[in-house]
Amino acid sequence: MNTREQVDALLSLIKDSAYKALDEYEKHGQEAPTLDSLVTHPLDVEVNTVDLKRIIRTLEGACDQLCSTLAPPAHTVVNRGQELYWSCLGVAVRSRIADALADHPRGLSAQELSDITKVDAVKLTSILRLLATRHCFKEIDTGVFANNRLSLMLHSNEPVSSFIDLLKEPSQAAASLRACLEDPEYGPSKSLYKSPFMYSIKDQGLYTSLYDSITRNPERRKVLGTGMIGMNFVMGTLSVIPIYPWKEYATVCDVGSGIGAFSQSLVKSFPSMRVTLHDTPETINLSKDIWAKSNPDAVVSGHISFAPGNFLEEIPVKNQDIYYLRNIIHNWPDKEALSILKNIRNAMGPHSRVLIHDYVMRPLNRCEPNDLDTAPEPLLPNYGGGQVRLYNQDVSMLLLYNSKERTVSEVSSLGREASSKLEKFWDLGDTSVLEYVAS
Ligand SMILES: C[S@@+](CC[C@H](N)C(=O)[O-])C[C@H]1O[C@@H](n2cnc3c(N)ncnc32)[C@H](O)[C@@H]1O
């Protein structure tokens, strides 16, 4: 295709997917809200958004490719190199700007916001202008800002805001990435204990790993718990609940459960299921408190139980129908990921299944045939910018743990080494579930 043909094809994809997205909102009861709207649309809180995700990845991929094709190359790379949105979002969350604006639909001046948040008014103006330029908050008069559809996500009641807060550690590690890669000891290391994050805090000599630093910091532990709810909401992982045949099974071990955000939804949909949460003792203590308040009946009836421990040493819960691991394997370099899978294999009964629920890396070229959903040309086969979160997450895993998001064949080879074989692949739009049985 020459450039004009590519632009034509990209414009068709954009037009087609934009109209499909409008239809998708309307199918869920109301037309798509404008950016100024402060009203939640039913689709905003829907668990299964796989169809919308598939539409949006084409739309975003095509818009990004169209602009990258037609803008001067220097313009595009400098814009990306200067990107500081993440830093301003972090400030907005920490200083609770969206909370401050909640009762002021006609907005507050930067000075009024500064009086509430204690952030200097001039600096706050620059920060909010950058955010509003890409549609998070809006400037309704010079220096006067109000909430809009995107900034509502930064309210402290929204788990997504905790996930934004949780990006502090990878951002800190990202600032050290270049120096870390050039360091003779840290650069070539594959160890969790020598990740770019560990490099960034090595002079403090306080912690052995990111998990060590979070486990010993109750405030960050809480942010991790709620941030995981926000991250999973964005990833749409709860769509596994309506899509996977849970009713064929009776017992589940949620391995590395966190505070049990997944299991809360699972027992709500399948109240007869017996679920055991397995995590570190500190996180299990936190989750016991949370469940005692949020769902005491499930705890008293024994439908939810707790198994503190260390999955690198042993899985204390034996012979479950399902061992479910959401956002676990990607946190660990191959050596530790294999230990976790081997420990699960030792805990499994003859009919147990393992569900590994993570992002799955897709090829950026069309050379190798694969069974994954491939984008139409001229898009990159992995949807390019339409799947950028997956690639950001991949690099975040490198920054934090010297780990990565894996391809199907990388996870399968770890599975094989742990005496398990891939039986089924579930594509949930952004994320995928790899289902393993004993081999
Ligand atoms: C990224 S979070 C995922 C939480 C949860 N699966 C979810 O998706 O919401 C990883 C979890 O692994 C737990 N974890 C880390 N090291 C562990 C270990 N050695 N044994 C058991 N759990 C561990 C952490 O405490 C944390 O809750």
Q: What is the CATH number of the domain that holds 306?
A: 3.40.50.150
Looking at the 3D structure of the chain, how many domains does it have?
Answer: 2
Prediction pTM value: 0.92
73 assigned to some structural domain: no
Residue 375 lies in a domain: no
pLDDT of residue 225: 85
391 in any annotated domain: no
Do 248 and 141 share a structural domain? no
Grade residue 46 by pLDDT with cuts at 50, 70 and 90: confident
Q: Is the CB of 108 under 6 A from ligand 1?
A: no
Neighbouring C-beta atoms of residue 142, cutoff 10 Å:
8
Do 288 and 142 share a structural domain?
no
Residue at 431 is within a domain:
yes
Asked if 321 and 249 count as a contact pair (C-beta separation under 8 A), the reply is: yes
Specify whether 138 is located in the same domain as 226.
Answer: no
Quick check: is 330 catalytic?
yes
Is residue 301 assigned to a domain? Answer: yes
Average pLDDT of the residues in 294-315: 95
pLDDT at 427 over 90: no
Given 75, 330, 351, 357, the catalytic residue: 330
Angle formed at CA 166 by CA 35 and CA 323, multiple of 5 degrees:
105
The number of the ligand 1 atom at minimal distance from the alpha carbon of 331 is: 1
Rounded to an integer, the average pLDDT of 334-345 is 96
Average pLDDT over residues 14-38: 97
Nearest-atom index, ligand 1, CA of 254:
6
Q: Residue 382: inside a domain, yes or no?
A: no
Q: What is the CATH number of the domain that holds 123?
A: 1.10.10.10
User: Does the CB atom of residue 343 touch ligand 1 within 6 A?
Assistant: no
Q: Is residue 168 part of a domain?
A: no
pLDDT above 90: residue 206: no
Whether 326 is in the pocket of ligand 1, judged by its Cβ within 6 Å, is yes
Q: Which atom of ligand 1 is nearest to the CA of 313?
A: 19
For residues 130 and 271, state if they share a domain: no
Region 367-393: mean pLDDT is: 90
DSSP-derived secondary structure for 344-412: HHHH--TT-EEEEEE-B---SSSSS--SS--PPTTS-TT-GGGGHHHHHHHHHHHHHHS---B-HHHHH
> To test ligand 1's pocket by mutation, which of 280, 284, 355, 359 has the most ligand atoms within 8 angstroms of CB?
280
Average model confidence (pLDDT) across the chain:
95
Across the range 196-210, mean pLDDT stands at 91
> What is the predicted pLDDT for the residue at 322?
98
Grouping H, G, I as helix, E, B as strand and the rest as coil, residue 21 is: helix
* Ligand 1 mean position, distance from CA 278 (Å): 8
Question: Residue 108: helix, strand or coil by DSSP?
Answer: strand
Average of per-residue pLDDT across 340-350: 97
Question: Is ligand 1 within 6 A of the CB of residue 228?
Answer: yes
**Which protein residue has the closest C-alpha to ligand 1 atom 22?**
279
pLDDT, average across residues 373-395 = 94
Do you find a cis peptide bond into 378, omega within 30 degrees of 0? yes
- Closest protein CA for atom 1 of ligand 1: 327
If asked whether residues 306 and 434 sit together in one domain, one would say yes
**Residues 242-281: tens digit of each pLDDT:** 999 999 999 999 999 998 989 999 999 999 999 999 999 9
The residue from 116, 144, 161 where one domain ends is: 161
**Structural domain for 429, as ranges:** 222-360+406-438
Residue 215 has pLDDT above 90, yes or no: no
Chain segment 103-134, per-residue pLDDT in tens? 999 999 999 999 999 999 999 999 999 999 99
Measured in Å, residue 257 CA sits from the centre of ligand 1 at 6
Do residue 332 and residue 236 come from a single domain?
yes
* Domain end residue (candidates: 126, 161, 196): 161
C-alpha 323 – ligand 1 centre gap (Å)? 14
- pLDDT at residue 216, as a whole number: 87
Tell whether 233 and 356 lie within a shared domain. yes
Same domain, 109 and 242: no
Model confidence over 145-194: pLDDT tens digits? Answer: 999 999 999 999 999 999 999 999 999 999 999 999 999 999 999 999 99
- Picking from 132, 161, 190, the residue at the C-terminal end of a domain is 161
| pLDDT band, very low/low/confident/very high, at 85 (cuts 50, 70, 90) | very high
312 C-beta closer than 6 A to ligand 1: yes
Q: What pLDDT is stored for residue 49 in this prediction?
A: 86
Is 403 near ligand 1, meaning CB less than 6 Å away? no
Question: Residue with the nearest Cα to atom 27 of ligand 1?
Answer: 258
Q: Is 396 in the pocket of ligand 1 (CB under 6 A)?
A: no
Residue from 169, 216, 228 to probe ligand 1 pocket by mutation (most atoms less than 8 Å from CB): 228
pLDDT confidence tier of residue 434, bands split at 50, 70 and 90: very high
Query: Are 323 and 428 found together in one domain?
Result: yes
Percentage of the chain exceeding pLDDT 90: 85
Distance 347 CA to ligand 1 centre (A): 18
Separation of CA 393 and ligand 1 centre (Å): 16
Shared domain for 156 and 231, answered yes or no, is no
Contacts 24+ apart (CB under 8 A), 260-265: 260/287, 260/290, 260/291, 260/304, 261/225, 261/228, 261/229, 261/232, 262/232, 262/237, 262/238, 262/324, 262/326, 263/304, 264/294, 264/295, 265/47, 265/238, 265/241
* Span from the CA of 166 to the centroid of ligand 1 (angstroms): 14
Q: How far is the CA of 328 from the centre of ligand 1 (A)?
A: 6
In a domain, 189, yes or no: no
